[in-house]
Amino acid sequence: MARIEPLPPTQFPSEMRAAMAALRPPNPRHEKMPTTDRPKALNTLGTLAHHPELARAYFTFNGHLLLATTLTERHREMVVMRVAAIRKSSYEWYQHLFVARDAGLSDEEIGRIAYGPDSPLWNTLEAAILRAVEEMIIDGGIGDATWQILATELDTRQILDLIFTAGGYDILALMFKSLGLDMDDDIPELMSRYDQLFR
């Protein structure tokens, strides 16, 4: 049981609805994500509904990370999934499993993200992206060799978005683990439906 019980949507304060609107940045670079047959993250939203001011501030940031980032959607999701793998955050992993698939990552590639940057099947840039996430979380910053690859392949805004995406989803992983947040009820059904489609 979670240390802070998520509020059901019917109990969200009115300020929470305004906070959720902040997830849509004013100048998105990417299309709004599909919502049909996708996780609703109600336990995350219900937890943050206890503190709508914090929710609005984080959602403004998160809206940029999701929809206004200069990273490709594929690279954004590689960063998020690597954070989830390093932090052993099953909640974050399952929420973004669907987003990663929507971004074009195959299940084999998603499995490789869990394995990490040393898989020989990654190209140089994608291995460096995964390694950068690892170095930031484990060592506190990107190492010189990894930086050289990123600086050759990405522009300054993309590198900044990579750093802040890793940090933004690390914050969520810390919250999920600290609060013992339960998996949302819709995840098993969505996983079952997906598995049946691809048997």
Type of residue numbered 97: L
15 pLDDT more than 70: yes
pLDDT tens figures, 90-117: 999 999 998 999 999 999 999 999 999 9
Cβ count near 71 (within 10 Å): 22
Mean pLDDT of the chain, nearest integer: 93
pTM of the full structure? 0.93
- Average the pLDDT over each of 30-39, 82-91, 95-104, 115-124 and give the range with the smallest value: 30-39
Distances (CA, A) of 67 to 114, 127, 146: 24, 23, 26
Q: Where are the alpha helices (DSSP H) in 38-115?
A: 42-48, 52-63, 73-86, 90-102, 107-115
- Token reading at 91: 């909640």
CA distance 32 to 5: 29
